[in-house]
Structure 1
Amino acid sequence: MNQNLPVIVIGAGPIGLATAAHLRERGQDVLVLEAGDSAGAAIAQWSHIKLFSPWRFNIDAASRRLLETPNEGYAGDWEAPRITKLPTGAELVSQYLQPLAVHPELAPRIRYSHRVVKISRVLADGRGADKARTANRDDAPFLVRTETPGGLVDLLGRAVVDASGTWNQPSPVGRGGIEAIGEAEACEQGFIISGLPDPLGADEHELAGKDLLVLGAGHSAANTIIALGRLQKQYPDTRIRWGLRGEANPIRLYGGGASDQLPARGQLGTSLRRLVENGHVELLENVSVASMNAGEQLAVVLADGRELAVDRIIAATGFRPDLQMLSELRLELDECVEAPRQLGSLIDPEFHSCGTVSAHGAKELAHPEKDFYIVGMKSYGRAPTFLMATGYEQVRSIAAALSGDAEAAGRVELELPETGVCSTDLGGSCDAPASENSCGTEPAEPAESSGCCSSPQPVSLGMSTGTLHGNSELAAGR
């Protein structure tokens, strides 16, 4: 019975569509469920941001083969972007994800406006099998419940690959990983902005001339601060304060600079340092938000008794995986970063930077729940060291495993660029947004023959690692 059911993929972003492409290449039936109304819906929310990494690292191999191969009703005339160019979020969607999603091989297998709310198992006779049920569990189909404009819909699959990401699950700004007192009310009243605002575009009116507090120490915070610095040039009464949870460590804050093999990511730290040292950004250390109260301004009280009055908090404090939808599955998660247990120790940001994470695939991403996998940014839980290229290798391995090709599933390799440092506060991942230098110019692109790496290192299990950075790929704003 199971073999007649599709592999259900959750999410039509880069990793979800790559999963579908690899499965179709192996002749497997697949159904992609996307909460938004188009492919790359989450990326569209940061369309103004430029990635750190060039196209070379952002196009999956199976997806490329699909786009370049003629198909019934499809000429295979997709024009690949120049591999050394840094794409914006909008370009990633329009030049890659949308053409992939409308390809005749994938288009009939994608359902939009299907938000997955629960996953469980169901036995052959139709009875449910919650996580306490052991008998015949591994042979039972998955029951995937989605919320659609027409109501709830139940779908069955023989396997599930969760590539839903973490974009819609921002971490709270309060101390200890929980909301500050009054935080929910402040969010409702619009005092707290999560994600990646567009200070030079859609959010200019919202932020210009305001007293702003940016919280976070990763690339998303840096991206936002640099964009706000340019906004400040147009509106000098804009005040920018940057709140850090600990003390300011220049190496952690500003990254690898010129030693970073992704030039845009290195320039990000250099531009950020300049804004702070020139006094355009006020650095606040040991910021631990205890409570807040909304009035004409937002009154913020810190754990050490300091009080701040701000117009907006921009929360670049990272994201978390939505595990509630998986509550009826048997998961084995690392207790610290909420990644699959075998992966957790490889990516724990307390001990690893983006340059010390080993390549990994189906074996490391497996759970006690047979044929269920979490991939992409969500597979990294709360760790910020994920790269799109890493996700593509994850799903290549998993597609091989689900197709019965154990040898290919175990052959896991990566070629990624050296990086500076990464931060647990990254609001997305190492692929995620970074920002342009303060002069507004894009860093010089490397020669096409070498991509962005001066000495790329292949990474494979059991060997010393090269480096990878997930959504630390986001690089330049406008």
Structure 2
Amino acid sequence: MNQPVAVIGAGPYGLSTAAHLRGRGIPVRVFGKPMVSWRDHMPAGMLLKSTPAASNIDAPQRGHTLADYCDAAGTRRLVTDEDIIPVETFTAYGEWFQQRLVPGLERVRVVSADRRPGGGFELKLDSGEQFAARAVVVATGLSGLAHLPPELAGAAPDGPTPTGPLSHSSQHHDLSRFAGQELVVVGAGQSALETAALAAEAGARVRLVSRGRGRVAFGAPPWRQPRLRPESPFGRAWSLWALSHYPHPYRHLPARTRHYLVRRVLGPLGAWWLRDRFEGEVPVQEVAAIVRAEIGDGRPTLTVRTLGGGTRDLTADHVIAATGYRVDIAAMDFLGHELRAELAVSRGTPKLGAGYVSSVPGLYFTGLPAAASYGPVMRFVCGTEFASPRLAAHLAGSHG
């Protein structure tokens, strides 16, 4: 069949999938701006929590690891667990990967994708072009999936905005704009802790609010990892090793178990190297819950329930919700309404079978939307090593 496969998204998963499809000789068209989430929606100066071993974009041939990029760029090799990766370096690595393995990338947006009556899919681009594809791979990463808890919505009735009273952490690239301001960061994961530290270093007066069981904690440095357990990209533990290297049976677990593990395994935890920059610099307010968020005199106020059972108001110039991402098929509005209605989902996420195919033949999902079917490793770049070759093999007609 001469119709191409359409890959929507040009982050690590989209680029890796496209490289594997090209490696099998399958015609493919790839849409999106390369590494756009990493370049535009991560704060400047951010450092990756993942180690170099967990940050390779999988390719069908040798010579395309992060270390290979460092060699090509003439920069210091990042290879050990103690090497820390600046986001700018990782973004440049992804763009280098794209130029070498996905040179035909089309920097246009897919407006809609619908099923064709005769089979396959019809896609419309914002350039005005319409074309037919034999299959569609959704690899849109975090785009459109920023999660704002309902209790914070009162301070952002029209949605979070970087210039309004409340924003999401994904909306900031330059945190220096908060210099001299009172800033509250909500969350307890790496994004919250690093956003708070970077804003404080940029001159903001920052307070971090952690909710419920979201206690602030930091991982152990590499030299304190237990040596008698197997090594994985995320640390030394039997469970992490199994979830990293053998996600095959994950989709056969009960739905409740799968969603729980995605949420709890590798959950909120600061990187070991962030501890010294955070502790003593950013005060932490642990609360039982945030009751509501309101705006008064242009400033946001959070009403919180304290650990002792009382309530307290916290006011600031701005609130950043570092509250993560949540997969929701309904938010992927480029997929036609009938297509979304036809998809089998579980708690908003697509149910995927072997080879990452959804319940709609020819429609595939990879990256974060696949985590509920293939496990927490799909939340990280190193998941491309498992996902991309299997998805490409399935599309090629092999179920290996």
Tell me if both proteins adopt one fold, taking TM over 0.5 as the criterion: yes
TM-score by length of 2: 0.73
- What is the letter of the counterpart of residue 131 of structure 2? L
Q: Which residue of 1 aligns with 2:110?
A: 116
Structure 2: runs of 5 or more not aligned: 66-70, 226-230, 236-268
Q: Which residue of 1 aligns with 2:165?
A: 191
Q: Alpha carbons of 1:313 and 1:66: their partners in 2 closer, same or farther (altered >3 Å)?
A: same
Aligned pairs for 1:283-302 within 5 A: 283-293=285-295, 295-302=297-304
- Cα RMSD (Å): 3.4
Q: Which residue of 2 aligns with 1:307?
A: 313
Q: Deviations over 1:62-116 (max 9, x none)?
A: 2653759xxxxxxx9787954334322221222x22223223x5222x110x222
Say which SS state the counterpart of residue 161 (structure 1) adopts.
strand
**Structure 2: distance between partners of 1:266 and 1:182:** 30
Q: Alpha carbons of 1:222 and 1:381: their partners in 2 closer, same or farther (altered >3 Å)?
A: farther
Aligned pairs for 1:119-158 within 5 A: 119-124=113-118, 140-148=119-127, 152-158=128-134
Q: Deviations over 1:120-158 (max 9, x none)?
A: 11124xxxxxxxxxxxxxxx011122324xxx4323211
Q: Which residue of 2 aligns with 1:203?
A: 175
Contact 2:165 2:298 (C-alpha < 8 Å) held by counterparts: no
Q: Which residue of 1 aligns with 2:357?
A: 366
Match of 2:349 among 314, 323, 339: 339
1:333 to partner: Cα distance: 1.9
Q: Which residue of 2 aligns with 1:454?
A: none
Match of 2:207 among 222, 228, 241: 241
1:389 to partner: Cα distance: 1.0
Q: Alpha carbons of 1:290 and 1:153: their partners in 2 closer, same or farther (altered >3 Å)?
A: farther
Q: Alpha carbons of 1:292 and 1:188: their partners in 2 closer, same or farther (altered >3 Å)?
A: farther
1:294 to partner: Cα distance: 5.0
1:381 to partner: Cα distance: 6.8
- What is the letter of the counterpart of residue 169 of structure 2? G
Structure 2 residue 192 is the aligned partner of structure 1 residue 221: yes
Contact 2:167 2:321 (C-alpha < 8 Å) held by counterparts: yes
- What is the letter of the counterpart of residue 122 of structure 2? L
Match of 2:141 among 162, 165, 185: 165
Q: Alpha carbons of 1:223 and 1:181: their partners in 2 closer, same or farther (altered >3 Å)?
A: closer
1:364 to partner: Cα distance: 6.7
Q: Which residue of 1 aligns with 2:326?
A: 320
- What is the letter of the counterpart of residue 79 of structure 2? I
1:271 to partner: Cα distance: 3.7
Q: Alpha carbons of 1:59 and 1:280: their partners in 2 closer, same or farther (altered >3 Å)?
A: closer
- What is the letter of the counterpart of residue 211 of structure 2? R
Contact 1:320 1:381 (C-alpha < 8 Å) held by counterparts: no
1:193 to partner: Cα distance: 3.0
Structure 1: runs of 5 or more not aligned: 69-75, 125-139, 343-361, 408-478
- What is the letter of the counterpart of residue 368 of structure 1? S
- What is the letter of the counterpart of residue 341 of structure 1? K
- What is the letter of the counterpart of residue 332 of structure 2? L
**Structure 2: distance between partners of 1:331 and 1:212:** 41
Structure 2 residue 382 is the aligned partner of structure 1 residue 389: yes
Structure 1 or 2: larger helix share? Answer: 2
- What is the letter of the counterpart of residue 143 of structure 1? E
- What is the letter of the counterpart of residue 331 of structure 1? L
Contact 1:194 1:314 (C-alpha < 8 Å) held by counterparts: yes
Contact 2:358 2:364 (C-alpha < 8 Å) held by counterparts: yes
Q: Which residue of 2 aligns with 1:414?
A: none
**Structure 2: distance between partners of 1:289 and 1:118:** 38
Aligned pairs for 1:174-189 within 5 A: 174-175=150-151, 179-180=153-154, 182-184=156-158, 187=161, 189=163
1:239 to partner: Cα distance: 3.0
Q: Alpha carbons of 1:120 and 1:197: their partners in 2 closer, same or farther (altered >3 Å)?
A: closer
Report the number of matched residues.
336
**Structure 1: distance between partners of 2:184 and 2:196:** 10
**Structure 1: distance between partners of 2:214 and 2:6:** 45
**Structure 2: distance between partners of 1:186 and 1:101:** 32
1:247 to partner: Cα distance: 4.8
Contact 1:117 1:325 (C-alpha < 8 Å) held by counterparts: yes
1:288 to partner: Cα distance: 1.9
**Structure 2: distance between partners of 1:320 and 1:117:** 22
Q: Which residue of 1 aligns with 2:220?
A: 257
**Structure 2: distance between partners of 1:90 and 1:141:** 38
- What is the letter of the counterpart of residue 378 of structure 1? P
Q: Deviations over 1:206-226 (max 9, x none)?
A: 212211111112110011122
**Structure 2: distance between partners of 1:93 and 1:189:** 25
Contact 1:119 1:328 (C-alpha < 8 Å) held by counterparts: no
Aligned pairs for 1:50-129 within 5 A: 50-62=47-59, 65=62, 81-84=77-80, 85-94=83-92, 96-103=93-100, 106-108=102-104, 110-112=105-107, 114-124=108-118
**Structure 2: distance between partners of 1:255 and 1:179:** 29
Contact 1:334 1:340 (C-alpha < 8 Å) held by counterparts: yes
**Structure 1: distance between partners of 2:162 and 2:95:** 33
**Structure 2: distance between partners of 1:208 and 1:97:** 31
Structure 2 residue 15 is the aligned partner of structure 1 residue 17: yes
Contact 1:257 1:270 (C-alpha < 8 Å) held by counterparts: no
Quick one: percent identity of the two aligned structures?
23
**Structure 2: distance between partners of 1:209 and 1:307:** 21
Contact 1:183 1:292 (C-alpha < 8 Å) held by counterparts: no
**Structure 2: distance between partners of 1:384 and 1:220:** 17
